[in-house]
Structure formats: C-alpha cells, structure tokens
Amino acid sequence: MPELLRAELRRPSWKRELVALGTNTDPYQWVESRYRMMPEILAALEEAETPVSILTKSPLVLRDVEIYERMAKKLPVSVNLSVPTLDEEAWRATEPHTPSPAARLDAVEELRSRGIDSGVLIAPLMPGINDDPEQVQPIVDRAKEAGATFLGGVALHLKDEVKDVFFAWLAAKRPDLLPRYEALYGDRAYMRSEQRRHATRALKGWGRGRSSKRAAPRAGGAGAGDPEHPAQGSPNSPRRAPPAQPSLF
C-alpha cells in the first residue's frame, strides 16, 4: 500500500489535493497495531507535501501523534474522532468491540494540546438510541473541555445491504423501535431534512462562549462548522468530500 501511494503521488498530474482517510474504512482498526501501515502512508504524504484529514474511532491514532505534530507545522492536517455516544448501554449495543468513546475524547484533547486540528463527529445519530439531547450533551461538554476544533453530527443513513443489517439488529435488540424506523426509512436511505434537523438538534449553538485561545469553528451546519466536512474546523483546512457514515457494527 505505501509503495502504491508513493507511485501515485509521484505522478506529474498530482496536485497535492487533500487526502481523506477514514471516510469509508477506519485506518486505525485493530489490525493496524500489528501491521503498522499508517506511519509509512503518512511519511509518503508528508514527502509529497500533501494535506491529510483522518477520521477514526480509535485512540490508536495517538501512536502516530509525533508524525501528525510534525506534519501540522507545514501542512493542513486534521485528525478527527468519531464518538456516537457516551451512554455505555447504547455504545455496547451499537458499537461492540470498539475502543471506549471516553478514550476517543481523551485523544482529541491530546491532539489539540500538540497544536493539531482535531474535532468530534457524533455519528451516526440514531433516533431513539443515541440522539436524545441528554445523551448528546456530555459529548458536547467533553469536546469543549478538550478544545475540539469542530463538533458536528450526522444522522443515520441506511443504504443498500446496510438497511437489511440494521433492521435485523432492530428486530433482535430493539423491536420497540421498528415501527418508528419503518416510517423514517421504509423507502428511503436518508431521513427527510426536518427529521435530520431533529436528530441533530442537541448540537445547535455549540461553540458559543468557547475560549478565544482555541480555534473557532465555522458557523453553519447542525453543529459548529459543517458536520459533513470535518476537515473544515481549521481555517487552514481545505474543503473535502463528505465522510461516509462510520460503521454501525
């Protein structure tokens, strides 16, 4: 993989555009601790002077913090953590065998302490499971404490086979929610706009009263900054395509 990346980055046509890692598959899954591909990938991007944005749900990202710290001094770098909930019951039900959400927020704080842009993406927000403001507020509060560059939320979307898997999970674990989800997603992959706004309602107004010493996110979206563009938390970070929804299982 690193060799293929270097070959692509050497192409004369490469314009040093932002490379986003983690928008489809998490680059810091547990196998990364064994194979250690990311340091070489990051080295290739750094050599090619290519900006990078990371989205992960693993504090393993801190293993490479010195690389990100060095890169951030000369390139736009954003290392973002996905944190769908701090509610332990909801976390264990929807993200079994994943790193602790609290540890992910601690990682954001460590990244920010080193001057690296780092934000929190609350995704997916699932009606009746983790979208209650009382569930979301602790994430908002901890993100503020950590000095997060941005915080946004993305409502659950169910495409193709994912819908079948999710509805099977609902039938087994939360049959009480089946009628609600059938109404929301019966013939759709996405909730309607007003329903998405309701799912992300707890994020409105985030960022007010934050310390002036910390990077202020841009206005707009469901939370601070555009939640569909995590890399935009920094004014130096270029726009990129919306991230894919983190895996549910």
Look at residue 26 in the predicted model and tell me its pLDDT: 97
Query: Is the separation of the CB atoms in 52 and 75 below 8 Å?
Result: yes
pLDDT one-digit tens code per residue, 197-236: 999 998 876 755 454 344 433 323 333 333 344 444 443 4
Q: Averaged over 16-22, what is the pLDDT? A: 96
Does the pLDDT of residue 242 top 50, yes or no? no
Average pLDDT, the chain: 86
Rounded-to-integer distance, Cα 95 and Cα 118, Å: 22
**What are the percentages of helix, strand and coil residues in the chain, rounded to 5?**
45, 10, 45
Look at residue 113 in the predicted model and tell me its pLDDT: 98
Query: Is the separation of the CB atoms in 122 and 80 below 8 Å?
Result: no
Q: How far is CA 218 from the centre of its chain?
A: 17
pLDDT one-digit tens code per residue, 22-60: 988 999 999 999 999 999 999 999 999 999 999 999 999
Domain ranges of the chain: 2-156+191-233, 157-190
Q: What percent of the chain has pLDDT over 90?
A: 78
pTM of this prediction? 0.82
Look at residue 202 in the predicted model and tell me its pLDDT: 87
- Measured from the Cβ of residue 84, the count of other Cβ atoms closer than 10 Å reads 30
pLDDT one-digit tens code per residue, 180-200: 999 999 999 999 999 999 999
- Is pLDDT larger for residue 121 or for residue 236? 121
Q: State whether residue 125 is helix, strand or coil.
A: strand
Give the position of tokens 């944005």.
53
Q: In what order do the strands lie in the sheet with 120-125?
A: 19-21, 52-56, 77-82, 120-125, 151-155
Rounded-to-integer distance, Cα 80 and Cα 231, Å: 8
Look at residue 216 in the predicted model and tell me its pLDDT: 35
Q: What is the Cα Rg of the chain in Å?
A: 18
Which of 3.10.20.30, 3.75.10.20, 3.80.30.30, 1.10.3720.10 is the CATH number of 2-156+191-233?
A: 3.80.30.30
pLDDT one-digit tens code per residue, 70-110: 999 999 999 999 999 999 999 999 999 999 999 999 999 99
Dihedral, 19, 207, 62, 107 alpha carbons, nearest 10: -150
